[in-house]
């Protein structure tokens, strides 16, 4: 394996592989080592976490000494003791590790066309690259290595004075198909869009209050059956009175029955593929996770079946993911948690629900790692998108002193004049006039 493969194996896969067939104390020691490197290689480092890791790594190495033979503990195994101190001094590891340097050395190696003169080939190749870089700064409308989109570029956010549900930022690709949704799925999709639109939330509460005041008990069932028609008539009346805009009218009219199916979709730095397309790939891009409504709720996990694009009037569009959800309602039967806190799902148990849709902007990419002893249980691992950072509103104190902690050296300057050195030009000239007798 390459260096980066070993990096991923040590940080992500090692404890998930050994937990099924190694003793418990061995798994605990390897898991602590895995968590140490994963936290140390994070994008954001906290001073308290680094202090905790500094104390923990010593105990972890002591546990490993009780498991592995003495020949295993060379100087490389001892180096993790010093990594925390290096992180405190140098900052996050992304700015200090060897991956960018190795890639650049590979680039210089590709410049060598004449193996008899490698230095000259590298110099000429570097000069040509600098010339092309200089010229590319003056080109407009031309894709260069400086303005090329990212790998999972989603097209960016389209700023417009429209509804929040119509502010799509995804990008689809691949062969598309146009089909007609049946009436049941169409109503479910329309209702889900209305329930997740910020501008329609007051009308949802108004409709529920209307049902309660009418004396009905099964409020939720009646709301699901009648809200679409009630909302259409309500917005039509408000639009005729001039109390709402045209976008709300487009939302109330609903999308067309004919929808567009996409095989691939990029959004929020993630790449999603349908299960049908993912079967022919070595990678896994059909895992979907959606957080629960409350903090204590278990998130929903599933696999992506279809990517559906709903077409509204005035060119407005909404992209939905149709997923097959795993059973996260019954702990112990549909899902469980391992000792590391990972969610382990029973892929044979599906969630009994009639709501397969989720907004594309709500989906989070995960991948599933099958168990070795029982392949029906798979561990879900969340993927962090590239070049996207969660910036907290209330940032903690950075690991950096606000001012230098220096002593006051001006206090005793007037006390001792004997040790002062005169650095004036006259003193320098007089220093050459030395009487030697």
- Predicted confidence (pLDDT) per residue in 87-98, tens digit: 999 989 888 888
Percentage of residues in the chain having pLDDT higher than 90: 43
pLDDT at 74: 87
pLDDT at 58 over 80: yes
pLDDT at 392: 59
179 pLDDT tier (thresholds 50, 70, 90): very high
295 pLDDT tier (thresholds 50, 70, 90): low
pLDDT at 414: 47
Q: Are 372 and 21 in contact (CB under 8 A)?
A: yes
Of the candidates 55, 45, 43, 102, the residue with the CA atom closest to the CA atom of residue 80:
55
Of the candidates 338, 330, 322, the residue with the CA atom closest to the CA atom of residue 381:
338
Sequence spans of domains, the chain: 3-95, 99-136, 184-256, 260-382
pLDDT at 158 over 70: no
| pLDDT tens sequence across 347-387 | 999 988 888 999 999 999 999 998 888 889 999 998 888 76
CA pair distance 257, 26, nearest whole angstrom: 57
Of the candidates 306, 301, 300, 319, the residue with the CA atom closest to the CA atom of residue 275:
306
389 pLDDT tier (thresholds 50, 70, 90): low
Q: Would you report the helix, strand and coil content of the chain in percent, each value rounded to 5?
A: 40, 15, 40
| pLDDT tens sequence across 309-321 | 999 988 889 999 9
pLDDT at 227: 92
403 pLDDT tier (thresholds 50, 70, 90): very low
429 pLDDT tier (thresholds 50, 70, 90): very low
For residue 94, give the 3-state DSSP assignment: helix
CA atoms within 13 Å, Cβ hemisphere of 426? 0
| pLDDT tens sequence across 233-289 | 999 999 998 888 888 999 999 999 999 999 999 998 899 999 999 888 888 999 999
Chain-wide mean pLDDT for the chain? 84
pLDDT at 394: 54
CA angle 19, 21, 25 (to 5 degrees): 60
Of the candidates 314, 308, 316, the residue with the CA atom closest to the CA atom of residue 178:
308
pLDDT at 411: 43
| Mean pLDDT (whole number) for 206-222 | 88
| pLDDT tens sequence across 117-152 | 999 999 999 999 999 889 888 888 888 877 887 778
Strands across the sheet with 270-273, in order? 171-173, 264-267, 270-273
pLDDT at 297 over 80: no
């Amino acid at each position: 394996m390459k260096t980066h493969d070993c990096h991923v194996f040590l940080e992500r896969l090692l404890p998930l592989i050994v937990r099924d067939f190694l003793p418990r104390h061995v798994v605990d020691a390897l898991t602590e080592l895995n968590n140490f490197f994963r936290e140390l290689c994070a994008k954001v480092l906290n001073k308290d976490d680094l202090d905790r890791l500094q104390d923990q790594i010593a105990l972890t190495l002591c546990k490993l000494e009780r498991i592995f033979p003495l020949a295993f503990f060379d100087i490389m195994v001892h180096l993790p003791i010093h990594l925390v101190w290096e992180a405190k001094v140098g900052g996050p590891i992304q700015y200090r590790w060897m991956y960018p340097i190795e890639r650049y050395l590979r680039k210089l190696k590709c410049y060598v066309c004449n193996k008899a003169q490698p230095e000259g080939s590298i110099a000429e190749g570097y000069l040509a690259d600098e010339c092309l870089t200089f010229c590319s700064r003056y080109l407009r409308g031309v894709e260069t290595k400086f303005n090329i989109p990212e790998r999972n570029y989603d097209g960016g956010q389209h700023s417009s004075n429209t509804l929040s549900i119509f502010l799509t930022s995804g990008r689809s690709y691949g062969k598309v198909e146009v089909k007609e949704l049946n009436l049941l799925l169409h109503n479910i999709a329309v209702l889900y869009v209305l329930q997740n639109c910020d501008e329609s939330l007051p009308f949802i509460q108004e409709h529920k209050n209307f049902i309660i005041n009418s004396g009905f008990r099964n409020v939720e069932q009646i709301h699901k059956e009648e809200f679409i028609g009630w909302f259409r008539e309500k917005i039509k009346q408000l639009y005729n009175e001039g109390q709402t805009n045209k976008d709300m009218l487009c939302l109330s009219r609903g999308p067309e029955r004919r929808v567009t199916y996409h095989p691939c979709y990029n959004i929020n730095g993630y790449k999603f593929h349908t299960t049908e397309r993912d079967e022919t790939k070595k990678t896994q891009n059909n895992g979907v996770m959606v957080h629960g409504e409350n903090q204590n709720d278990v998130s929903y996990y599933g696999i992506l079946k279809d990517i559906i694009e709903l077409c509204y009037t005035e060119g407005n569009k909404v992209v939905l993911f149709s997923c097959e959800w795993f059973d996260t309602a019954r702990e112990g039967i549909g899902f469980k948690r391992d000792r590391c806190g990972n969610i382990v799902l029973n892929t044979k148990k599906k969630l009994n629900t009639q709501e397969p849709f989720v907004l594309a902007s709500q989906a989070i990419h995960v991948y599933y790692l099958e168990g070795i002893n029982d392949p029906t249980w798979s561990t879900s691992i969340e993927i962090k998108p590239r070049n996207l950072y969660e910036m907290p509103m209330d940032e903690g104190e950075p690991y950096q002193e606000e001012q230098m902690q220096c002593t006051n050296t001006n206090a005793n300057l007037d006390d001792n004049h004997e040790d002062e050195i005169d650095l004036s030009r006259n003193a320098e000239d007089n220093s050459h006039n030395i009487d030697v007798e």
